Each structure stands twice: as C-alpha cells, then as structure tokens.
Amino acid sequence: MNLEAYLVERARWVEEALAAYLPVLPEPARQLGEAMRYSLFAGGKRLRPVLALAGAEALGRDPKVALPAACALEFIHTYSLIHDDLPAMDDDDWRRGKPTNHKVFGEAQAILAGDGLLTQAFAILATAEYPAEVAPEKVLAAIAEIAAAAGPEGMVGGQSADIRAQGKSDADGEFLHYIHTHKTGALLRASVRVGALLAGAAPAELAALTAYGEKLGLAFQISDDILDATGDPKVLGKPVKNDAQKQKLTYVTLYGLAKARQEARRLAAEAEAALGAFGPGAEPLRQLARFTVERNH
C-alpha cells in the first residue's frame, strides 16, 4: 500500500467530520469560534485520528466505526498544542509555519479556545451517532480511555513533568521517560486502543495493539526530539529563542543523537513486531511505525 495516499484519504475523512463537529457560535462568542477553527485546521497529518481508524481497520472492521472518537482525539490534541505554545508553557510563536494561536487571538482567547476544544471532544464522544453495531458499553470504554490518556495520569501529567524538567540539572532518563510516555505517548497509545475497543477487539488483540501503541508513541516522541535537534527551526515552527530552550530535556540532550536514533529504530521495530498476529488489515499500522523513524533521516 501507498502510505502517503492512505494518509491523505484518511485525513480527508477526518477533515470533513471535524468541520461538522465544530460548533458555529453566535456573534458574542464569534472570536472564540474563530480561534478554535484557526488551530483545528492549521494542518498536520492527523496522526491520532488516523491511528484510531487504523486500529479498527486492523481488526477487519469498517474504520469509520471509530470516526467520531478519532475526531474527539484531534480536538484534544489541538487543545494541547494551543496550551503548550502559551508563554507560561513552551512560549512558542510559530506552529506548523503559522503564528501560534495566542499570537493571533491573544492569550485569553487562546486559553478559552483550548478549553472549548477539550470540552467539545467529550460532547462528540457522548452524543455522536455511532454505527448500530457499536454497543453503548464500547462507547463508554472509549470515553474512559481518552479521559485517562488526556488527564493528570496521562498527557497533562506529562506536560507538568516537562515544565518541572526545564532547568532541572538532576533530571534523568527515568524522568524523561515519564515525560515522553505521558505527554505524547499516552494519547497515541489511546488512539490505537480506542479504535480497537470500538471495533470489538478480543483481549489478546487489544493487548497486542496496546503494545504497538506504547512503542510507537515513544518512538514518535524520540523522533520529534531528533527533528528538533537537526531540522531547520523555521520549518519546524519552533525557533530557538534562548539558551534555556536549547537545554530542554530531550533524548538527544540526554543521550546524544546517535543513541536517540538507535532507540527510535528499536522501538519502531518492536511496535511493528507486536502486530505479528494480524493480517493485511494492519498494514497501515506497520507502515506508520516505519514512517515514524524514517522521517528523522
């Protein structure tokens, strides 16, 4: 299969559904709606929703059984980027080659745009019309999965640890592992699991896809660390502003570039190996694991 064509097609499904799920707000809240739309449609490969769709597809199911949850995941991911870019967080002026949300709409509206996207994600999960074969208990399981991955025991906890690590001279590999597996990895892992849960995965299938998601999530973040260290800052949309930002705790700053690349390749290979019992339906997941490390070379 052609991964690029697959990603384009799945991203188109997601884009159309995202537009339908984004509420049209009345005039008093017009700027909030504009701020939410600005970041939601700022580009990107829609990796998290694609993983949810591919998780269902790996089980031989119609991937669109996971489409509402896939959109909810993208709403949550977008909210996290808006808040991550704020001056109190990573203080970034650019995201995907465009001014960050708070640079366009101001900090207050950016915070509220993130709040709105997060809340709307759970409205989508709770009210979307799933196919008839998706039982209510599967939907509840998906909601619980996403809430855990996005909350204090997942992404938010990882973000908190990342802030603590800045300028922390004694931060070690264990601390960094916690950051990466929670701030980024938790939502990626949940994306695959949610697609599988909604598709009715058996326990062994869910366990295998969970292992895949865990390995992929960490490999993806290490690859991001490598890209941040080796890529053109203007292309990445993350210009280096000062020495403190240069010393941010990453796999590259802690272990060096060569070891970071070796670890990313190892994790991607283990992610792919976790899919050994699956048939051709899991090919998108296999190729996504390879793509995760290929993009940093």
**From CA 47, how far away is CA 66, in angstroms rounded?**
14
Number of domains in the chain: 1
With cut-offs at 50, 70 and 90, classify the pLDDT of residue 296. low
pLDDT of 245 over the 60 cut: no
CA-to-CA separations, 297 to 58, 255, 293, 294, in angstroms, rounded: 28, 18, 7, 6
Cβ pair 174, 32 in contact under 8 A: no
Per-residue pLDDT of 144-187, as tens digits, reads 999 999 999 999 999 999 998 887 766 788 999 999 999 999 99
Amino acid found at 23: P
Residue 194 phi, psi dihedral angles, 5° rounding? -65, -45
Residue 233 or 152, more confident: 152
With cut-offs at 50, 70 and 90, classify the pLDDT of residue 239. very low
Neighbours of 83 (CB within 10 A): 22
CA nearest neighbour of 236 among 244, 245, 227: 227
User: pTM of the entire structure?
Assistant: 0.92
Query: What is the pLDDT, as a whole number, of residue 65?
Result: 94
With cut-offs at 50, 70 and 90, classify the pLDDT of residue 294. confident
Query: What is the pLDDT, as a whole number, of residue 169?
Result: 65
Query: What is the pLDDT, as a whole number, of residue 247?
Result: 65
With cut-offs at 50, 70 and 90, classify the pLDDT of residue 232. very low
With cut-offs at 50, 70 and 90, classify the pLDDT of residue 248. confident
3-state secondary structure (DSSP) of residue 98: strand
User: In CATH, what number is assigned to the domain containing residue 281?
Assistant: 1.10.600.10
Crossing angle of helices 185-198 and 136-150, rounded to 10°: 180
With cut-offs at 50, 70 and 90, classify the pLDDT of residue 242. very low
Q: Which residue has the tokens 């909210």?
A: 79
Q: Which residue has the tokens 């997601």?
A: 14
What's the whole-number average pLDDT of the chain?
A: 91
Q: Give me the DSSP letters along 224-288.
A: HHHHHHHS-HHHHT----SHHHHT---HHHHH-HHHHHHHHHHHHHHHHHTTTT--GGGHHHHHH
3-state secondary structure (DSSP) of residue 94: strand
Query: What is the pLDDT, as a whole number, of residue 297?
Result: 61
Query: Mean per-residue pLDDT for 220-238?
Result: 72
Per-residue pLDDT of 73-99, as tens digits, reads 999 999 999 999 999 998 999 998 899
Per-residue pLDDT of 96-134, as tens digits, reads 889 999 999 999 999 999 999 999 999 999 987 788 778
Query: What is the pLDDT, as a whole number, of residue 185?
Result: 96
pLDDT of 246 over the 80 cut: no
Query: What is the pLDDT, as a whole number, of residue 113?
Result: 98
**From CA 81, how far away is CA 87, in angstroms rounded?**
12
Range of the domain at 275: 3-294
**Burial call 228-251: b when 16+ CB within 10 Å, e when fewer:** bbeeeeeebbbeeeeeeeeebbbb
Query: What is the pLDDT, as a whole number, of residue 1?
Result: 86
Indicate the DSSP class of residue 63.
G
Specify burial of residue 266 (Cβ count, 10 A radius: 0-12, 13-18, 19+): middle
Query: What is the pLDDT, as a whole number, of residue 235?
Result: 36
Query: Mean per-residue pLDDT for 260-279?
Result: 96
CA nearest neighbour of 284 among 58, 73, 60, 63: 58
Specify burial of residue 225 (Cβ count, 10 A radius: 0-12, 13-18, 19+): buried
